[in-house]
């Protein structure tokens, strides 16, 4: 999955709307209303798109949908251009961590008044929080995905481990047992900043914090960050992961496919890549939520996924909201979650994934989901990603002041104009 900073980036110019409601909801002209909806490539199957379109039009007489599939490449600029225009799509799927960026331009409608009707109190936090900017709900949570631990059931059994760990201490103890006999307890590359972020949130810290003056301050030089890194270092040492690269170098699925690795942190979809590289591991892979500090709560995870927004320039705002309401509602959340193995937007719907082991583990972890700092400039941080550099430096002992330097880089990026 794309994190929507990583796995999930989003959005373009094609604007077609017929007469319907004005953006204030008052009639603009007689006749049917045509709504343009932008959905990202691979967010839904063709079958889901067709079923939703047919169902919506049947239950909303007088409204027709034009669902346009958008490509990931260059989508950010397309959405920015569309939101700045006078003629925009009526509903747009955007990455959950991108809402602040688009809201900052003033082209996204405030849907705060609709949160109660949409069961906002039940939304998973990793989608709801980044959709809310300065107290206003611009992005409506749609679907999510997050990392879990993919593990080798057979290697766990050989090590005498009868159940997946639920706490950090249990996780370390189990991984130590697995890191014997030529096996690797866990493959954790040194620059997996998504994993570090979860450990940091568990410690009560964050990647950056916003002061009362509205300025952001990087927070990798705090006691909480030191505790998170200490756990990361301890876990990473129980495998052979490189300290100077991320999950893509080498591809961690290919590492696990070699047959000696007991665990890896990944989205559940990573299991498919492992099995493609080594079909002999079929029926040997299992999933569990990243363990937390205590057994009553899973470890914090980065939540990637999508929100739905309604542009201010939509000429059919009331009808557009109906599309959002349906896509974010129980019926379609259930169908989409089951068919796409996504985490639904509501915590109370996690049970719909009970028959899918990987997705169920993902949903269990999603209740402690978080997003990156809610700044329109977050993309500038990821451009050079000082968090990755920080991890390598602390794991190798190369720079005793790594936390301060990384915090300064984050502070500068988040407070830069433009």
What is the CATH classification number for the domain harbouring 190? 3.40.190.10
Q: Is 347 part of a structural domain of the chain? A: yes
Residues 119 and 196 in one domain: no
317 with 25: CB under 8 angstroms?
Answer: yes
119/121 Cα distance (integer angstroms)? 5
Residues 123 and 41 in one domain: yes
Given the structure tokens 């591991």, which residue do they identify? 281
333/28 Cα distance (integer angstroms)? 32
Average pLDDT of span 311-336: 97
pLDDT above 50 for 310: yes
Residues 181 and 271 in one domain: yes
pLDDT in the model for residue 188? 98
Average pLDDT of span 248-263: 96
What is the count of structural domains for the chain?
Answer: 2
Average pLDDT of span 305-323: 97
Give the pLDDT confidence of 162-210 residue by residue, as tens digits. Answer: 999 999 999 999 999 999 999 999 999 999 999 999 999 999 999 999 9
pLDDT above 60 for 28: no
pLDDT above 50 for 11: no
Residues 94 and 231 in one domain: no
Given the structure tokens 């997705």, which residue do they identify? 359
387/6 Cα distance (integer angstroms)? 14
**Which of the four pLDDT bands, split at 50, 70 and 90, describes residue 6?**
very low
pLDDT above 90 for 401: yes
Please list, in sequence order, all residues whose beta carbon lies within 8 angstroms of the beta carbon of residue 379, skipping any fewer than 6 positions away.
5, 76, 98, 101
pLDDT above 70 for 9: no
Residues 247 and 387 in one domain: yes
Domain that holds residue 118: 33-145+304-370
Residues 319 and 260 in one domain: no
pLDDT above 50 for 24: no
Quick check: helix, strand or coil at residue 148?
Answer: strand
């Amino acid at each position: 999955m794309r994190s929507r900073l990583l796995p999930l980036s989003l959005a373009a110019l094609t604007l077609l709307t017929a007469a319907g409601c004005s953006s204030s909801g008052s009639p603009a002209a007689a006749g049917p209303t045509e709504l343009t909806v932008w959905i990202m490539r691979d967010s839904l199957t063709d079958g889901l798109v067709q079923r939703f379109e047919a169902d919506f039009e049947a239950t909303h007489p007088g409204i027709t949908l034009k669902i346009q599939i958008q490509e990931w490449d260059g989508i950010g600029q397309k959405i920015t251009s569309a939101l700045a225009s006078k003629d925009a799509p009526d509903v747009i799927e955007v990455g959950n961590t991108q809402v602040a960026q688009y809201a900052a331009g003033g082209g996204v409608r405030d849907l705060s008044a609709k949160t109660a009707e949409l069961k906002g109190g039940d939304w998973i936090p990793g989608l709801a929080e980044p959709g809310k900017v300065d107290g206003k709900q611009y992005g409506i949570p749609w679907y999510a995905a997050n990392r879990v631990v993919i593990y080798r059931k057979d290697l766990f059994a050989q090590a005498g481990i009868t159940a997946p760990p639920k706490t950090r201490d249990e996780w370390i103890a189990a991984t130590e047992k697995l890191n014997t006999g030529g096996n690797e307890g866990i493959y954790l590359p040194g620059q997996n900043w998504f994993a570090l972020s979860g450990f940091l949130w568990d410690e009560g810290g964050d990647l950056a914090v916003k002061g009362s003056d509205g300025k952001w301050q990087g927070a990798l030089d705090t006691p909480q960050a030191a505790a998170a890194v200490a756990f990361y270092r301890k876990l990473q040492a129980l495998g052979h992961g490189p300290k100077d690269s991320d999950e893509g170098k080498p591809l961690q699925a290919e590492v696990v496919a070699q047959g000696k690795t007991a665990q890896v942190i990944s989205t559940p979809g990573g299991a498919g890549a492992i099995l493609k590289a080594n079909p002999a591991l079929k029926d040997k892979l299992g999933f569990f939520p990243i363990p937390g500090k205590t057994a009553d709560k899973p470890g914090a995870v980065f939540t990637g996924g999508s929100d739905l927004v309604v542009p201010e320039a939509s000429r059919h705002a009331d009808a557009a909201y109906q599309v959002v309401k349906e896509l974010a509602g129980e019926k379609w959340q259930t169908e989409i979650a089951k068919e796409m193995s996504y985490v639904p937007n509501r915590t109370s719907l996690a049970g719909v994934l009970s028959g899918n082991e990987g997705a169920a583990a993902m949903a269990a972890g999603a209740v402690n989901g978080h997003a990156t700092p809610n700044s329109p400039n977050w993309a500038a941080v990821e451009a050079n990603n000082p968090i990755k550099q920080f991890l390598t430096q602390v794991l190798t002992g190369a720079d005793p002041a790594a936390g301060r330097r990384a915090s300064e880089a984050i502070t500068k990026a988040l407070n830069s104009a433009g």
